[in-house]
Amino acid sequence: MGIGVGFVENFDWADISEKYDSEDTVFYCDPPYVGYEDYYLVNTIDHGALVNGLAELEGDWICSYEDVPEEGSKRCT
């Protein structure tokens, strides 16, 4: 098994997941850490919506969170 085609994009997670989600897709998300949003120039992320959206994807995903937001922790085990 190898990697076929890869894309790196910088868009809202919801737009990317809608565009590329399939059972053959792997997403990598690197959102601002919870509680550190003010360190970023753009900090409009809804962490709960992201976690819930990841749980509903057909594809696999990797997300770099320091701590999973409480509202989504049961979905991300």
Q: What is the pTM of this model?
A: 0.70
**How far is Cα 41 from Cα 28, in angstroms, rounded to an integer?**
20
Phi/psi for 20 (5° steps) reads: -115, -5
10-27 average pLDDT score: 90
Confidence (pLDDT) at 77: 47
pLDDT in tens, 21-48: 999 999 988 887 777 777 877 677 788 8
* Nearest to 43, CA basis, from 51, 53, 29, 33: 33
Interval 41-68: pLDDT, tens = 767 778 888 888 999 999 999 888 766 6
Instruction: Name 29's bridge partners.
Output: 63
- pLDDT of the residue at 51: 85
Per-residue burial over 58-71, b = 16 or more CB atoms within 10 Å of its CB, e = otherwise: eeebebebeebbee
